[in-house]
Structure 1
Amino acid sequence: MRKAITLLLGAIALGNPLFAQKKLTSGNPIAQGWYADPEAVVFGKEYWIFPTYSDKYEKQVFFDAFSSKDLVNWKKHPKVLDSSNVKWANRAMWAPAIVKKDGKYFFFFAANDIQNNNEKGGIGVAVASKPGGPYKDYLGKPLIDKFYNGAQPIDQFVFHDKDGQYYIIYGGWQHCNIARLKSDFTGIEPFADGQTYKEITPKGYVEGPFMFIRNGKYYFMWSEGGWGSPDYSVAYAIADSPMGPWQRIGKILQSDPAIATSAGHHSVINVPGTDRWYIVYHRRPLTETAANNRVTCIDEMHFDDKGYILPVKITKEGVKEDKIK
């Protein structure tokens, strides 16, 4: 009997999977490695996260992805897209946005960090037949490669409105534009008034736009501060239309000196058929000072009875299991 107990304890000590304790929360970060600007989406009964691979711009030329059936256990899908499949992109690929349409997966990204209209780069589109790729360049050129209304063509988010229209919302350098995407995502089409790019910049906006609908209201979120600074954070506004007008309400995600700094550039998950919400974002561990040393995390997001977003508590534990029914 004593020998059997000794063997049992030895198996547990060696990490035998038969005796491994079930993982109860995701933990933060959700994956090892430097990842930022996460785009979180639901495809079928799976959660997916598509982050920026955070490194020096010359090395930041590919994307990994992560999938989960329960928000707790995440599987890595390496190099779902890299610059070898996008001939015009040679550096600084970041901030994915992804949508499923007509059985295909469209992956929007920024590349080359262009500084003016004479440089080659901007916002591109890649396409694949499954969420884990491999993705290939869709247009053979950028979708948006110029500065309109002062907005650097980066940090794109694709918003599917309730009337079926797809919009691209994007912009760095403290300017945010919204534009109507053609139904096949091959270009931009004008609004009814003839305008192509409309500026919707709220007060405090820096970059990283995100939009969703809850209870008939449009929520617009963005990042403030400098991405390399401890003051990086997320604020939001509410309106009755994707055009706004957007009046800043306040911050809902920011540094916690006991947990991490530079919490920002996020996305949001709503579990289908529920009013459960999660915010997926990047932050910098307290042990790190290098700008690119960022990790992707997930925490709960809640609303009050008036529909305002409550300040998010960033955690080391992350979230509990939440499967899609």
Structure 2
Amino acid sequence: MPVLTKDQIQMRDPFVLPHETDGTYYLYGSTDADIWKAKGIGFDAYHSKDLVNWEGPFPAFRPTPTFWADLNYWAPEVHPYRGRYYMFATFKADGVCRGTQILVSDNPLGPFVPHSEEPVTPRDWECLDGTLFIDDEGVPWIIFCHEWVQIKNGTVCALRLSPELDRAIGEPVVLFSAHDAAWVDPVHSNKHGTGYVTDGPFAYRCDNGELLLLWSSFRQGRYAQATARSTSGSILGPWVHDPKPLFDSDGGHGMIFRTFAGDLLLALHTPNSTPDERPIFIPLQESDGRLSV
């Protein structure tokens, strides 16, 4: 199996799982060469002991001939939960709304197979980038984006999941919209017109207990990574937005993880253009609920 550096791995939406049991980091992301128009191939994964040298790719997910989706295989995240590994990933088919489906495996490298019968996001909504959040009562939620291509002003939403992570419970709650953040600029598309983007939510609990939500949009024509914070400490907010992005050099869709040595890192992809996107890890400082790079 080849050993690669991050510069050799084309990937969008990187997600790192530090696995303490075997002292290994697992890296997932949108790994199809053309995630926009070509038929979906699946998701590849890599593993490393040092975050520098990555072994792979390993085929973490490949669709069966009867799998419902064949487009837009995006943004896989893998979360340990009750002794198994659950992949939250976005899929789409012609004439079917994009949505996040939950897959499962007994191994961080897969193979992952469908766990929910269909996407757990609303079937008549264009949705993407679902992530898992467990609240203080142990209740699982999916946090996801209702996409701007359908509603113009994209939103970030939360939806309760069953304890088994196989279905949604209740109705989605809108946490905030893209236009709520002063730093966000509109995007323009020949197909979809003008709108405001929400991408890549990821929840992070600070050392002081404050709850942050990473998310991405566009500023001055470039992809950017920002944070919002819950004034109640609950996933239901209300949410206020930090005035400036955390990173605005044409990169985003980030997540935060700690190394085995305790260092805090922000993983995101940059630049935001295919096929040049690569995963990068940026050291973070946390002070009194505030993050800085």
TM superposition score category, shorter chain reference: 0.7 to 0.9
Aligned residue for 2:186?
Answer: none
Alignment-mate amino acid for residue 283 of structure 1? T
How far, CA to CA, are the matches of 2:198 and 2:93 in structure 1? 15
How far, CA to CA, are the matches of 2:17 and 2:290 in structure 1? 22
Moved more, 53-62 or 153-162: 53-62
How far, CA to CA, are the matches of 1:86 and 1:221 in structure 2? 35
**CA offset at residue 60 of structure 1?**
3.7
Secondary structure, aligned partner of 2:64: helix
CA RMSD between the two structures? 2.5
Q: What is the CA deviation profile of residues 214-264 of structure 1, one whole-angstrom value per residue up to 9, with x for unaligned ones?
A: 1211011100118xx951001112222111111111211121xxxxxx211
- Map 1:142-221 onto structure 2 (within 5 A): 142-147=119-124, 152-171=126-145, 172-173=147-148, 174-190=154-170, 196-202=171-177, 203-204=180-181, 206-214=198-206, 215-221=208-214
How far, CA to CA, are the matches of 2:63 and 2:275 in structure 1? 19
Moved over 3 A (4+): 271-274
Contact 1:88 1:120 (C-alpha < 8 Å) held by counterparts: no
Contact 1:159 1:212 (C-alpha < 8 Å) held by counterparts: no
**CA offset at residue 120 of structure 1?**
5.3
Aligned residue for 1:18?
Answer: none
Matched, 1:278 2:255: no
Moved more, 276-285 or 123-132: 276-285
How far, CA to CA, are the matches of 1:101 and 1:169 in structure 2? 16
Contact 1:236 1:251 (C-alpha < 8 Å) held by counterparts: yes
Structure 2 stretches lacking a partner, 5+ long: 149-153, 182-196
Give the counterpart of 2:234 among 209, 234, 241: 241
TM-score, with structure 1 as normaliser: 0.72
Secondary structure, aligned partner of 1:178: strand
Aligned residue for 2:251?
Answer: 263
Alignment-mate amino acid for residue 101 of structure 2? G
Contact 1:147 1:153 (C-alpha < 8 Å) held by counterparts: no
Q: What is the CA deviation profile of residues 259-295 of structure 1, one whole-angstrom value per residue up to 9, with x for unaligned ones?
A: xxx2111111024684x2101100028xxxx544311
Contact 2:29 2:77 (C-alpha < 8 Å) held by counterparts: no
Contact 1:263 1:282 (C-alpha < 8 Å) held by counterparts: yes
Aligned residue for 2:84?
Answer: 104
Secondary structure, aligned partner of 2:128: coil
Q: What is the CA deviation profile of residues 67-114 of structure 1, one whole-angstrom value per residue up to 9, with x for unaligned ones?
A: 222222222242210223761111111011221122211111111167
**CA offset at residue 200 of structure 1?**
0.4
Change (3 A) 1:86 1:253: farther
Structure with the bigger RCO (C-alpha within 8 Å, sep 6+) is 1
TM-score, with structure 2 as normaliser: 0.80
Bigger radius of gyration, 1 or 2?
Answer: 1
Aligned residue for 1:42?
Answer: 18
Give the counterpart of 2:245 among 238, 244, 251: 251
Matched, 1:30 2:13: no
User: How many residues get paired?
Assistant: 259
Change (3 A) 1:181 1:272: farther
How far, CA to CA, are the matches of 1:138 and 1:188 in structure 2? 12
How far, CA to CA, are the matches of 1:86 and 1:273 in structure 2? 43
Give the counterpart of 1:307 among 286, 289, 292: 289
How far, CA to CA, are the matches of 1:128 and 1:32 in structure 2? 27
Q: Which of the two has greater strand per residue?
A: 2
Moved more, 200-209 or 94-103: 200-209
Alignment-mate amino acid for residue 34 of structure 1? Q
